[in-house]
Structure 1
Amino acid sequence: MKKMNQINNGILYIVPTPIGNLLDITHRALEILKNVNLIAAENIRHTNILLQNFNIKNNLILMNKDNEKKQSNNLIEKLKTGKNIALVSNAGTPVINDPGHLLIKKCHFFNINIIPLPGPCSAITALSASGITNNRFCYEGFLPSKKKKRCDLLLSLKEETRTMIFYESKYRILETIKDIIEQIDKYRHIVIAREITKKWESIYGTQANLMLNWLQEDKNRYKGEIIIIVEGFKKTKIDHLSNEILNTFILLRQSLSLKKAVLITSQIYKISKNYLYQKMIQKEK
């Protein structure tokens, strides 16, 4: 690593740290943590465990979600004087669901050099082992803790064609799987990745309703840090409607509105409700 010394502004290094297994730290990350003037840490005690494991002694300053605004201004002043600073979170790549974006935004404003390092990220690590198509995906972070907001969000993602990644608490995982079944699809394939890179790591995938049963069989299956990966919506391309589909729709239409009958039929046969709606409008004209 080049000697970290600048005539004017310092450098802000974004340094990923292991999400479980300390051996996942890179040589470059260790070298930077050793040589910067200051480490801005989300949790000083947690970061000290990492530093001590690799015999690194350095100055740490706390920057968490509670003091991020004030501390960002403080760190900018230090960077302006030529100090080099490493930004770390509790684990993984900083700023992904962690504090730090205000500091980075200010660095851009004051033309302070930012150097990001590649490294661990639990969402991407879990996605790579999910077996679900991952050439297109969206990261949704933690689902809302309130049921209504959570259900509203899941419903809005019902026809999202990209693979979806969520973080969830062990305290809400069962309710969340129930909500996925109700708001998205009980047959949708999902993967639960737990304690990635740690001793009790597990990765298991099945359709949503079977996943709920699997989790309920053993509470140890949802302990620790949990990532949910949900397969994207697959649009069924059909040129005609089978007699089975038509008969189901006709039966439902006898007691339901056109819109409701279309919705239920599309869910049963996994076909686009918009396509079905257009076909049924033509038939009812």
Structure 2
Amino acid sequence: MSNLQGTLFVVATPIGNRGDISQRAREVLAGVAVVAAEDTRHTGQLLGHYGIQARLVAVHEHNETRQVPGLIQRLQGGEDVALVSDAGTPLVSDPGYRLVTACIDAGVRVSPVPGPSAVMAALSVAGLPTDRFCFEGFLPARPGPRRKALAALASEPRTLVLLEASHRILASLGDMAEVFGGERQAVVARELTKTWETVLRGPLAALVRQVEADPDQRRGEFVVMLAGAPPAVSDDAALLAVLGPLLDELPVKRAARVAARITGAPRNRLYQLALDQKAADDGA
């Protein structure tokens, strides 16, 4: 047996358009002893398209822990292994973390073969700031936990990047509009690099209406990006300048909620300021 260990190659594959694979990725996939794939049938079809014959082993969220020891043994025996996901760059909301960390712990070399990424592709066409962004992956599936997760992100100043499934996209956008405010700028990128690719841009409220009105916009795979929260206003006088016109038109509680979205200040603080202002106006 060779004393030389193999390498785990983490290989990015196309997110849709099969022409997006790199020459190096093709060479690596053709040359390794084993390709560890999230879905062997899907990857088998992909490799077949490029004329690559490879031994495939399934590594997904349900069996990754069981598969790691055998793959480590192969790598320590001198075989090279490629790790791929169904699409894009492995480990980005996909399996592979346990295998990569096990390789690192075992002293096995891990090497990236970079390429397509739905997150980076979406950011590149969003038209939102990309110097700083926050990737949150998939939101919770159930409405309550989803809104709670969004509330925790409401004051995040960086561009937010989220993934969503077709059967939840409309509900998720509605929750985003409720939590962040319908005026928050957002981008919905659907089916990137595929035949029916669309990129919708605008305020959340308008995007909710577009997706609701067009069933086609609820099909496929989605990356949702939101502009970061504006800097919080902290001065009471500045907060009251926002609250004043709202109190002329809305009940106190709703005025405080809207002002919180506009200013980024805590809702309970704005509610108390609104009550104080109302009391002062009534006493005048």
- Range of TM-score over shorter length: 0.7 to 0.9
Match of 2:145 in 1: 149
Match of 1:100 in 2: 96
1:223 aligns with 2:180: no
Is 1:262–1:276's contact at 8 Å kept on the other side of the alignment? no
Matched pairs, number: 275
Q: Aligned equivalents of 1:113 and 1:48: distance in 2? A: 25
1:197 aligns with 2:189: no
The unaligned stretches of length 5 or more in structure 2 are 280-284
Match of 1:266 in 2: 259
Match of 1:183 in 2: 179
**Residue aligned with 1:12, SS:** strand
Q: Aligned equivalents of 1:275 and 1:40: distance in 2? A: 49
* Structure 2 CA distance for partners of 1:274 and 1:178, relative to 1, 3 Å: closer
**Same amino acid, percent of matched pairs:** 32
Residue by residue, what CA displacement relative to the aligned partner does 1:144-187 show, whole Å, maximum 9, x if unpaired? 11110000001111111111111111111111111111111111
Letter in 2 for 1:151: R
Is 2:234–2:265's contact at 8 Å kept on the other side of the alignment? no
Q: TM-score, normalised by structure 1?
A: 0.87
Residue by residue, what CA displacement relative to the aligned partner does 1:209-268 show, whole Å, maximum 9, x if unpaired? 111111122101121111111111012668753885363477699x85xxx588336237
Match of 2:282 in 1: none
* Structure 2 CA distance for partners of 1:139 and 1:46, relative to 1, 3 Å: same
* Structure 2 CA distance for partners of 1:243 and 1:81, relative to 1, 3 Å: closer
* Structure 2 CA distance for partners of 1:167 and 1:174, relative to 1, 3 Å: same
Cα RMSD, aligned residues only: 2.8
1:245 aligns with 2:237: no
* Structure 2 CA distance for partners of 1:272 and 1:218, relative to 1, 3 Å: closer
Residue by residue, what CA displacement relative to the aligned partner does 1:59-110 show, whole Å, maximum 9, x if unpaired? 1111111110010111001111111000011010011111111111111111
Q: Aligned equivalents of 2:66 and 2:162: distance in 1? A: 30
Q: Aligned equivalents of 1:275 and 1:122: distance in 2? A: 35
Q: Aligned equivalents of 2:195 and 2:124: distance in 1? A: 19
* Structure 2 CA distance for partners of 1:272 and 1:65, relative to 1, 3 Å: closer
Match of 2:7 in 1: 11
Q: Aligned equivalents of 2:65 and 2:104: distance in 1? A: 15
Greater helix percent: which structure?
2
**Residue aligned with 2:126, SS:** coil
Structure 1 position 141, deviation (Å): 0.7
* Structure 2 CA distance for partners of 1:143 and 1:250, relative to 1, 3 Å: closer
**Residue aligned with 1:241, SS:** helix
Q: Aligned equivalents of 1:127 and 1:43: distance in 2? A: 27
**Residue aligned with 2:47, SS:** helix
Is 1:68–1:102's contact at 8 Å kept on the other side of the alignment? yes
Q: Aligned equivalents of 1:59 and 1:242: distance in 2? A: 63
Structure 1 runs, 4 residues or longer, greater than 4 Å off: 236-240, 248-253, 274-284
Match of 2:106 in 1: 110
Structure 1 position 124, deviation (Å): 1.1
Q: Aligned equivalents of 1:139 and 1:81: distance in 2? A: 37
Q: Aligned equivalents of 2:248 and 2:199: distance in 1? A: 42
Q: TM-score, normalised by structure 2?
A: 0.88
